[in-house]
Structure 1
Amino acid sequence: MNAAFPLSRQLTAEALGTLLLVATVVGSGIMADSLTDDTALALLGNTLATGAILVVLITILGPISGAHFNPVVSMIFAIRRELPSSSLALYITAQVLGGIAGTVLAHGMFALPLLQTSETVRFGGAQWLSEATATFGLIFTILAGIRFRTDAVAWLVGLYITAAYWFTASTAFANPAVAIARSLTHTFSGIRPTDLPGFIVAEILGALLALIFAGWLLMRRDWSNA
């Protein structure tokens, strides 16, 4: 976050970034699914588009808002006192609304009903463990990147999510706002609304574990030196 930009512009950047991220996730999933019957190939197309857009969005919007586009990222920065606690709820609201708008935009671009509900089942211990793992890795990547290579964070996040799509059973949502938005599309990237609570709890837990671990491993001064 850059205090030089008014909060209204920071929130706009968060909403716009999450909108474009979700439009990419949902839209590329629709496109890939329409072009091939090979699920692996469709997932690859979905993956590459998502990783690429993350690099772009973090690079261009990071100087304005920090380019969180993710409630658990904002939560972690608020805990670290790098995002004012008074801004946290506003950031999350902007991200969730932006994500929903991204789903609607993707539907509109592919001439699908704008309002849908997903029926894709993503439930169970393996899915929750995958989301906790994916989010742990995302938060640790961000914190380690900021600690050692601030200039590379956009690429680190984009590459991490590209990899995590493939090594997690859940395809690495790692983002409550994106999960909510994806519950509103009955397409390749969807998730049933009833499966959201398990995903969101797992994402929060993974993020908090990453914060604790990074605080120790990276020797952050305001954490224990044990």
Structure 2
Amino acid sequence: MSKPFRSSIVASFLAVTSTYATYWSCFILSTGKSSLSIPDLSRMLSEATGDDKLVPFAEAFDLLSAERAFPYVLVVFMAMLVTAVLCFFALGMMIREFCERRVAAHRAGSVSGWLIDHLPVPGWRYILRVLLLACVPAYDRFFQDGVTTYKVTTQEYSMTSVLKLVDFYEEHNDRLEETRRGFEDDGLVYPQMKLMDMGFWQVGFEKS
């Protein structure tokens, strides 16, 4: 069994587990004030709009704040994001496995070779490390300028770029963890990659 195929199996298994965790968090966990689930919150926001299709941001923020729903919504969002990252890993490794088999059969063109070069095999350790970091930065303009300033990783969102961020965090783990403990909201500490996102965004913003 090839390494990309093994990685895709591991990522797929973890994605199924994460999907169940997302479903569980939507219906079992609840808000701090009225014990509302995600479907209940959706109905509350829908009723607040009346005939409008979208809730104004300020009004939605006030409603969620009054319900003390931000920690709950953050947990659900992080579970959904982890599921998406795992599916991305699994799909990428399946594509690489397919391309490698085409190359081995001498039926591949330049596209297959390019995909093999740009879909590095992360292995299960890297997959778990990314999951432990819980999310990825937004890769907006200011974040890209920030990581470029310190030559931390590439500007484009890719598996290689995310793994370089993982390596950077682990190299500076003590100082970053000390800083991260200072960011807490209703007992929840910001994920590691959220801290990286805010930090490099600020660097890029000040640079501009």
Report the TM-score, using the length of structure 2 for normalisation: 0.30
Q: Higher relative contact order by CA 8 Å / sep ≥ 6: 1 or 2?
A: 1
Report the TM-score, using the length of structure 1 for normalisation: 0.28
